[in-house]
Each structure stands twice: as structure tokens, then as C-alpha cells.
């Protein structure tokens, strides 16, 4: 039986290794997250920090995405720019971790099988969205920035490598897409919140319109999946 070549395999990526020893490659992304948490703890009021930290955990643990976390954080009183910066940073940290530690992460008992599920999801996304391959760099930026089901730094990193992109290119796409997606949703959510404060009826009407649009998009996606099967 022929062994399947995985994205980020040493054979396929021997010229694009991590710039640090394994311990540092693992520790730096987590260390950066620790520094970010410490800085926000020191600068923010305790209640605001606890809400922000809870939103960070919700974003890291599936299935919550930025389209859910950002509006909820804004409703709970977190400034739109702060939650946008936070999630964009988490996307960057996730992309950095995947870029430097993918082969090693596959060997971790709990994390490895979890990442393999994302690998299977990445193959499915790539098969269902041929425009990603056609648009290449821009396609991956759009994939990360637009809140598709399952899109994010991990799945985006895998898809980028499947497209033959180098680690630096993938990390750039993850970072740019995370910034665009996080700030776009945050600005939109804060705008809708402002409308609610001025006119509740108008705010509810706009919210219903958005929900209808989302429902149509979900039904269309489900219809396309049924047709492809």
C-alpha cells in the first residue's frame, strides 16, 4: 500500500524548515499568546479582561468563529478595534504554529488526530472550491477572511500548502486574511450596534435582513453539496 504524502511532510518541505530548534518553534507561538494575555491583563479592567479572555478561548475552541465571537464581544462591551486586533493576532499565532510545527504536531496524541481532521476538511474545501486554486494567494486570503464554515488559520494553512505555497506565503495569507476578516466584521458589528442605539426598529430590521441573507447562503451551500454528491 502506497503511503500518502501529507502536507508539510519533511520530504516535500525539506528546504523550508523552522528557523529554530523544536523547543523554540513550539514555544514561541504560545509565548507570544502568553505575552498578549499578560499585556491585556495589565492594561484592561478585570471584568473587561475576563470577557476578552473568554472570547479568545471561544475562538480557539471550535466551532465558534469570528462571525460569532466578534459581535458577542462588542455586545458585552469590548471595543471593536480590540476584539478585531485580538482575533487577528490569534490567526497569526495559529498560522505561525502550523508553519513551524506541523510534522511534530501530527505526533501529539490528542492534537495529531484533531489536525488530521482539518486535513481531511482541507481536501474537501479545496475540491468544492476550485477558485481557491485559480486565485492562488488572493484565493487563500479570501478563504481566511470570509467566514466560511471551518475556515481559519489551521484549515487555511493546510489548504495553502496543498496549493504548493511556501510557509512564508501561507503565513502572509493567514495574517492578511485574519486582519481583513476580523476588522471587517468588527466594523460592521459596531455599526449595527450604533444603529440599535439610535433606532431599535431600524436596527432590528437591518438584523433581520442580515439573518435572511445568511440563511439563504446556508441553504445555497447545502443545495450545492447535495448536487455534488
Task: Name the residue among 122, 80, 102 with its Cα closest to residue 29.
Answer: 102
pLDDT score of 8: 46
DSSP string of 107-126, one letter each residue? TSTTHHHHHHHHHHHHHHHH
> What's the CA gap between 59 and 65, in Å, rounded?
6
> What's the CA gap between 87 and 182, in Å, rounded?
6
Locate the domains of the chain by residue range: 22-193, 199-229
Q: Tens of pLDDT along 150-206?
A: 567 877 887 887 788 888 898 999 999 999 999 999 998 998 888 887 877 877 777
pTM of the model: 0.80
pLDDT band at 227 (very low <50, low <70, confident <90, very high): low
Q: Tens of pLDDT along 55-75?
A: 999 998 766 788 889 998 998
Amino acid at each position: 500500500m502506497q503511503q500518502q504524502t501529507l502536507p508539510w511532510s519533511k520530504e516535500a518541505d525539506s528546504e523550508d524548515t523552522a528557523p529554530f530548534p523544536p523547543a523554540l518553534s513550539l514555544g514561541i507561538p504560545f509565548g507570544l499568546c502568553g505575552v498578549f494575555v499578560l499585556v491585556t491583563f495589565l492594561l484592561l479592567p478585570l471584568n473587561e479582561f475576563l470577557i476578552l479572555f473568554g472570547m479568545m478561548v471561544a475562538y480557539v475552541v471550535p466551532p465558534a468563529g469570528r462571525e460569532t465571537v466578534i459581535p458577542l464581544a462588542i455586545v458585552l462591551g469590548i471595543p471593536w478595534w480590540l476584539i478585531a486586533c485580538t482575533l487577528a493576532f490569534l490567526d497569526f499565532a495559529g498560522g505561525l504554529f502550523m508553519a513551524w510545527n506541523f510534522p511534530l504536531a501530527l505526533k501529539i496524541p490528542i492534537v495529531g488526530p484533531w489536525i488530521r481532521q482539518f486535513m481531511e476538511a482541507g481536501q474537501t474545501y479545496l475540491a468544492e472550491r476550485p477558485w481557491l486554486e485559480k486565485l492562488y494567494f488572493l484565493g487563500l486570503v479570501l478563504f481566511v477572511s470570509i467566514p466560511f464554515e471551518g475556515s481559519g488559520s489551521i484549515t487555511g494553512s493546510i489548504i495553502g500548502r496543498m496549493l504548493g505555497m511556501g510557509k512564508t506565503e501561507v503565513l502572509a495569507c493567514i495574517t492578511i486574511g485574519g486582519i481583513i476578516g476580523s476588522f471587517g466584521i468588527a466594523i460592521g458589528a459596531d455599526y449595527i450596534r450604533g444603529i440599535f442605539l439610535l433606532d431599535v426598529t431600524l436596527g432590528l430590521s437591518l438584523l433581520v435582513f442580515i439573518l435572511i441573507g445568511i440563511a439563504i447562503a446556508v441553504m445555497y451551500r447545502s443545495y450545492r453539496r447535495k448536487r455534488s454528491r
